[in-house]
């Protein structure tokens, strides 16, 4: 069969779904199933059994009795099973229920008068044309809802009674049970022209087809059996279920034929209904779950389609890829920020193709020889595309034939560019190009400086790498999406990669006014950033050392974080001709999302210089801490007795203010009380800020330099924990008229409604602890509920954006249509702006 000649080029205007009619099922069918046996004594498929060769082949060597093809080309063919008694298709039960209740018991017409119907018919057509399909569905729902409540048929004047549905699939007309046969005959009465009001097209879905009288048996191709090592066959779940169906159907037919008592027939009929229900869907409410002998849940047709692992999301939209790896990430400050630590065993598995040339042939041969260990290679590909695995038996032949034009799939080596990704991938910086560093660990290593754009931390986060397999992709990864070229955020123009925490503390310590280093220590620091020199002087100031990583022609002036707090002139950062004259280097100059110096360097000298500078500052900071040390002590959190007295006074005042309000308690009072508790917080914050020790206090210096933390973090630590809230209001409802039995009834004061006056350092009392845990639990629950939302956001983003491309002329296109004439409608590069502001 020539594929090319069968191509049809046309656009899909609409999709219409329908229900298979019994006639259609018979027409499609290649075999009527008559036997519940699968194989005969010789192991051959039984004629008319569920493995009948007319439904397709799964054994290599056999040919299909319908199309004559082998396993490779036979698409599989439907069979059919004539049911002794009809049963409901569980998925259609809600529709049947609606249709029964909105059509006449006796004449089968929809319970709406003729002239009204004419108008509705026009409405439906115009709704679909003018307002779209959703509007049409809405209209149909309204029509059905209306018809359901009509009590007398407008056509034959018969009084209507409500049909009840007892879940999962039993219909009652009054006390009388409606069998599928009864329902079938009622549905058959409905006129074709009335079906449009249920959204049905009579050509594709007559309502009586919702009752199964002939079951379509899926081809063997979609339910292949597997042969175990001991030669035994293990059948697919669907085949198991179909065997049950065929067997029950046979017993039902026999009993009907022999005139067995009604009870026995009904029982078997019910069983048939159960088997067919669980064949279609094995988790409908109130239907017992069908299980295998091993107690494993049987996979139904629905399970194959629905959900994350189903056909659409699991096989159609999501693709598993080769040359990718995933592992837990670990911090590694000795990597450059643009590197990723790749475990050796990953490097030996996810390979990179390299074309053999006269220049690299010796190196390639060495890799092939070393295929068993690292660094080696796994496969070679000949110029005509034949892929050969390198093994003990093939290695010598491959070495002999290898020549220019071959491709070698070699292990990853240091310096290879790969893609690094963390999910949810919500912006373009969630996937960036990194340089490989092969390491003897089992986790992927990442410099903590690069965690921000990925939103990664090290509490068990996992990330993915993808090894690129062609030159174009490699060029893109190296030049466009390389992390080095994405230091500055496209959102606000600030660097996303830079110093944080220890790196900031270290640099601030190094560049503090009085920091002096002996020659040996200075040399040690410099050697760590690959500046190997022998210094002349006996002592060096920290600022002199820091100046050695600055470009010689750099002139720069800016405030440091420290200056903003201390207002000392010496902490203004002044760089003259590449020399740091004054100033503490801290988060305001080199920090992520704040570093003014980083941004300046990026604009002035480009990404390469900035990237090197970031790694060097971080390393300097880290090694400074290594030399000088930095720790915190519980007494770094001390505030003097006066401060505690002042806090106590503030709380007392607040309490008094609140009790004054309580004499006339209402909703307005509640808002005022919240206001008071907020004011207490602010006052406490100011007291802590005023009294916390500023000299020789590492907690304070972490806050001042912007390394980590804020005065706000100190409020609950050493001030007071404050008001606990549930759903944005003060906690209420515990026992009747009070939170817990520790309080007086109807007390709406600060303390009695969850205001905690203790702090973490002194500890909370049991009641405070209890109330605090209520708020914490709310936070925890919120977090759990929000997490999947961002996963869904990624799915929506990727399906909306997957086909968009930015072309060389900056237009954004999808296929042949233009989405934007200029990227972002303005063609502006925000990363080149000044914190989002344009200086035109």
Among 107, 264, 344, 381, binds Zn ion (CB under 5 A): 107
104 binds, among Mg ion, Zn ion, none (CB under 5 to 8 A by kind): Zn ion
The smaller minimum CB distance to Mg ion, of residues 462 and 471, is found at 462
Among 33, 64, 446, 456, binds Zn ion (CB under 5 A): 64
The smaller minimum CB distance to Mg ion, of residues 166 and 457, is found at 457
Q: Does 423 bind Mg ion (CB under 5 A)?
A: no
Q: Where does residue 373 rank: exposed (0-12), middle (13-18), buried (19+ CB within 10 A)?
A: exposed
CA distances from 26 to 18, 61, 394, 630 (A): 16, 29, 54, 82
Q: Give CA–CA dist 147/102, Å, rounded.
A: 5
From the list 51-59, 330-338, 549-557, 683-691, the region that binds Zn ion by CB under 5 A is 51-59
| Phi, psi torsion values for 536, nearest 5 degrees | -90, -45
Q: Give CA–CA dist 51/246, Å, rounded.
A: 13
CA-nearest of 778, 797, 774, 798 to 786 is: 778
From the list 54-62, 396-404, 505-513, 635-643, the region that binds Zn ion by CB under 5 A is 54-62
Q: Does 462 bind Mg ion (CB under 5 A)?
A: no
Give Cα 527 distance to the centre of its chain: 43
457 binds, among Mg ion, Zn ion, none (CB under 5 to 8 A by kind): Mg ion
The smaller minimum CB distance to Mg ion, of residues 454 and 637, is found at 454
From the list 404-412, 461-469, 477-485, 737-745, the region that binds Mg ion by CB under 5 A is 461-469
The smaller minimum CB distance to Zn ion, of residues 155 and 605, is found at 155
Shortest gap between Cβ of 150 and Zn ion (angstroms)?
Answer: 10
Q: Does 457 bind Mg ion (CB under 5 A)?
A: yes
Measured in Å, how far apart are the chain's first and last C-alpha atoms? 64
DSSP 432-448: EEEEEEEESSSSEEE-G
Q: Give CA–CA dist 497/592, Å, rounded.
A: 5
Q: Does 452 bind Mg ion (CB under 5 A)?
A: no
From the list 21-29, 150-158, 460-468, 575-583, the region that binds Mg ion by CB under 5 A is 460-468
Q: Does 515 bind Zn ion (CB under 5 A)?
A: no
Shortest gap between Cβ of 172 and Mg ion (angstroms)?
Answer: 54
Spell out a b/e string for 616-647, using b for 16 or more CB atoms within 10 Å of the CB, else e: bbbbbbbbbbeeeebeeeeebbbbeeebbebb
Shortest gap between Cβ of 78 and Zn ion (angstroms)?
Answer: 11
508 binds, among Mg ion, Zn ion, none (CB under 5 to 8 A by kind): none
Total interface residues for Zn ion by CB under 5 A: 12
CA-nearest of 706, 555, 562, 542 to 624 is: 542
CA distances from 550 to 256, 543, 612, 672 (A): 95, 11, 10, 54
Confirm whether residue 809 is marked as ligand binding.
Answer: no
From the list 256-264, 291-299, 459-467, 547-555, the region that binds Mg ion by CB under 5 A is 459-467
CB of 158 closer than 8 Å to CB of 105: yes
Among 125, 156, 531, 671, binds Zn ion (CB under 5 A): 156
* Angle, helix 519-528 to helix 607-628, in steps of 10 degrees: 140
Q: Does 220 bind Zn ion (CB under 5 A)?
A: no
Shortest gap between Cβ of 459 and Mg ion (angstroms)?
Answer: 4
Q: Does 155 bind Zn ion (CB under 5 A)?
A: yes
Torsion angle (degrees, nearest 10) of CA 228, 233, 238, 244: -140
Q: Give CA–CA dist 481/534, Å, rounded.
A: 39
CA distances from 51 to 41, 63, 411, 691 (A): 14, 13, 46, 85
From the list 370-378, 453-461, 548-556, 731-739, the region that binds Mg ion by CB under 5 A is 453-461
CB of 221 closer than 8 Å to CB of 238: no
Confirm whether residue 507 is marked as ligand binding.
Answer: no
Confirm whether residue 116 is marked as ligand binding.
Answer: no
353 binds, among Zn ion, Mg ion, none (CB under 5 to 8 A by kind): none
CB of 668 closer than 8 Å to CB of 748: no
Q: Where does residue 566 rank: exposed (0-12), middle (13-18), buried (19+ CB within 10 A)?
A: middle
Shortest gap between Cβ of 320 and Zn ion (angstroms)?
Answer: 28
From the list 51-59, 296-304, 457-465, 495-503, the region that binds Mg ion by CB under 5 A is 457-465
74 binds, among Zn ion, Mg ion, none (CB under 5 to 8 A by kind): Zn ion
Q: Does 221 bind Zn ion (CB under 5 A)?
A: no
- Give every CB contact of residue 144 below 8 A, 6+ residues apart in sequence: 98, 102, 197, 198
CB of 224 closer than 8 Å to CB of 285: no
461 binds, among Zn ion, Mg ion, none (CB under 5 to 8 A by kind): Mg ion
Per DSSP bridges, beta strands 725-726 and 729-730 are antiparallel
The smaller minimum CB distance to Zn ion, of residues 90 and 111, is found at 111
Shortest gap between Cβ of 73 and Zn ion (angstroms)?
Answer: 8
Strand, coil or helix: 72:
coil
Element at 576 (helix H, strand E): strand 572-576
CA-nearest of 245, 265, 263, 246 to 255 is: 265
64 binds, among Mg ion, Zn ion, none (CB under 5 to 8 A by kind): Zn ion
Shortest gap between Cβ of 456 and Mg ion (angstroms)?
Answer: 7
From the list 161-169, 172-180, 458-466, 664-672, the region that binds Mg ion by CB under 5 A is 458-466
Q: Does 605 bind Zn ion (CB under 5 A)?
A: no
Angle at 160 between CA 154 and CA 161, to 5 degrees: 160
Q: Does 104 bind Zn ion (CB under 5 A)?
A: yes
The smaller minimum CB distance to Zn ion, of residues 68 and 815, is found at 68
From the list 98-106, 357-365, 603-611, 626-634, the region that binds Zn ion by CB under 5 A is 98-106
318 binds, among Zn ion, Mg ion, none (CB under 5 to 8 A by kind): none
The smaller minimum CB distance to Mg ion, of residues 423 and 559, is found at 423
Angle at 158 between CA 152 and CA 161, to 5 degrees: 65
Among 461, 636, 653, 778, binds Mg ion (CB under 5 A): 461
Among 29, 30, 36, 66, binds Zn ion (CB under 5 A): 66
CB of 171 closer than 8 Å to CB of 177: yes
Q: Give CA–CA dist 417/483, Å, rounded.
A: 11
Q: Does 783 bind Mg ion (CB under 5 A)?
A: no
450 binds, among Mg ion, Zn ion, none (CB under 5 to 8 A by kind): none
Binding site for Mg ion (CB under 5 A): 457, 459, 461
Q: Return binding residues for Zn(2+).
A: 64, 67, 74, 77, 104, 107, 153, 156
Q: Return binding residues for Mg(2+).
A: 457, 459, 461
Q: Return binding residues.
A: 64, 67, 74, 77, 104, 107, 153, 156, 457, 459, 461
Binding site for Zn ion (CB under 5 A): 56, 64, 66-67, 74, 104, 106-107, 153, 155-156, 158
């Amino acid at each position: 069969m020539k594929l090319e000649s069968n191509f049809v080029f046309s656009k899909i205007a609409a999709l219409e779904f329908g229900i298979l009619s019994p006639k259609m099922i018979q027409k499609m069918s290649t075999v009527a199933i008559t036997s519940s046996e699968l194989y005969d004594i010789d192991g051959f498929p039984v004629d008319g059994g569920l493995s009948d060769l007319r439904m397709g082949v799964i054994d290599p060597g056999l040919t299909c009795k319908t199309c004559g093809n082998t396993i490779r080309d036979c698409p599989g063919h439907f069979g059919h099973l004539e049911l002794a008694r009809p049963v409901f298709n569980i998925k259609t039960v809600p529709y049947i229920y609606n249709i029964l209740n909105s059509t006449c018991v006796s004449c089968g017409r929809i319970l709406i008068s003729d002239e009204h119907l004419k108008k509705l018919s026009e409405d439906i057509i115009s709704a679909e044309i003018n307002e779209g399909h959703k509007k049409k569905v809405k209209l149909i729902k309204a029509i059905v809802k209306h018809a359901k409540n009509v009590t007398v048929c407008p056509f034959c004047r018969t009084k209507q009674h409500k049909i009840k549905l007892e879940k999962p699939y039993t219909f009652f007309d009054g006390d009388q049970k409606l069998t599928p046969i009864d329902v079938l005959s009622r549905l058959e009465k409905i006129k074709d022209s009335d079906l449009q009001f249920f959204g049905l097209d009579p050509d594709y879905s007559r309502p009586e087809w919702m009752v199964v009288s002939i079951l379509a048996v899926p081809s063997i191709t979609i339910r292949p059996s597997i042969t175990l090592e001991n030669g035994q066959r293990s059948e697919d779940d669907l085949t198991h279920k179909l065997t049950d169906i065929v067997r029950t159907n046979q017993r039902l037919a026999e009993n009907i034929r022999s005139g067995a008592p009604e009870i026995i027939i009904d029982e078997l009929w019910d069983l048939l209904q159960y088997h067919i229900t669980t064949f279609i869907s094995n988790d409908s409410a109130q239907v017992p779950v069908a299980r295998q002998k091993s107690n494993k849940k049987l996979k139904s047709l629905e399970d194959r389609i629905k959900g994350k692992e189903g056909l659409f999301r699991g096989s159609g939209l999501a693709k598993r890829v080769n040359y990718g790896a995933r592992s837990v990430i670990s911090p590694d400050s000795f990597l450059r920020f643009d590197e990723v630590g790749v475990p050796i065993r990953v490097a030996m598995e996810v390979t990179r193709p390299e074309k053999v040339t006269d220049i690299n042939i010796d190196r390639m041969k060495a890799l092939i020889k070393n295929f068993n260990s690292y660094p080696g290679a796994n496969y070679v590909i000949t110029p005509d595309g034949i892929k050969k695995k390198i093994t003990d038996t093939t290695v010598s032949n491959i070495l002999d034939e290898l020549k220019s034009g071959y491709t070698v799939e070699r292990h990853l080596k240091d310096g290879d560019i790969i893609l690094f990704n963390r999910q949810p991938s919500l912006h373009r910086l969630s996937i960036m190009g990194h340089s490989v560093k092969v390491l003897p660990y089992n986790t992927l290593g990442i410099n903590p400086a690069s965690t921000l754009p990925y939103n990664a931390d090290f509490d068990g986060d996992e990330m993915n790498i993808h090894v690129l397999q062609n030159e174009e992709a490699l060029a893109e990864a190296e030049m466009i999406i390389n992390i080095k070229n994405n230091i500055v955020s496209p959102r606000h123009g600030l660097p996303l990669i830079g110093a944080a925490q220890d790196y900031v503390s270290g640099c601030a310590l190094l560049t503090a006014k009085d920091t002096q280093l002996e020659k040996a220590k200075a040399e040690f620091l410099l050697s760590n950033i690959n500046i190997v020199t022998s210094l002349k002087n006996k002592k060096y100031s920290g600022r002199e050392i820091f100046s050695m990583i600055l470009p010689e022609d750099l002139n720069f002036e800016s405030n440091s974080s420290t200056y903003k707090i201390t207002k000392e002139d010496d902490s203004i950062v002044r760089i003259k001709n590449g020399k740091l004259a004054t100033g503490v280097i801290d988060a305001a100059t080199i920090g992520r999302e704040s570093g003014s110096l980083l941004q300046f360097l990026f604009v002035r000298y480009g990404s390469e210089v900035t990237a090197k500078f970031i790694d060097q500052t971080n390393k300097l900071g880290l090694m400074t801490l290594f030399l000088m040390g930095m720790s915190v002590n519980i007494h770094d959190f001390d505030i003097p007795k006066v401060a505690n007295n002042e806090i106590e006074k503030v709380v007392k005042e607040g309490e008094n203010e609140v009790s004054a309000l309580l004499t006339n308690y209402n909703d307005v009072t509640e808002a005022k009380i919240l206001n008071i508790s907020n004011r207490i917080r602010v006052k406490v914050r100011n007291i802590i800020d005023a009294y916390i020790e500023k000299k020789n206090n590492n907690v304070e210096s972490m806050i001042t330099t912007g390394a980590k933390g804020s005065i706000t973090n100190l409020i609950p630590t050493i001030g007071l924990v404050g008001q606990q809230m549930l759903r944005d209001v003060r906690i209420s409802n515990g026992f009747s008229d009070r939170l817990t039995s520790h309080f007086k009834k109807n007390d709406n004061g600060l303390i009695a409604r969850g205001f905690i006056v203790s702090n973490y350092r002194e500890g909370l009392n049991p009641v405070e602890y209890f109330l605090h845990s209520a708020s914490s639990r709310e936070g925890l629950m919120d977090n759990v509920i929000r997490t999947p939302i961002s996963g869904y956001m990624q799915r929506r983003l990727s399906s909306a954006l997957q086909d968009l491309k930015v072309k060389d002329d900056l237009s954004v296109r999808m296929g042949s249509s233009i989405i934007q004439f200029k990227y972002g409608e303005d063609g502006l590069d925000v990363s080149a702006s000044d914190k989002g502001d344009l200086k035109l």
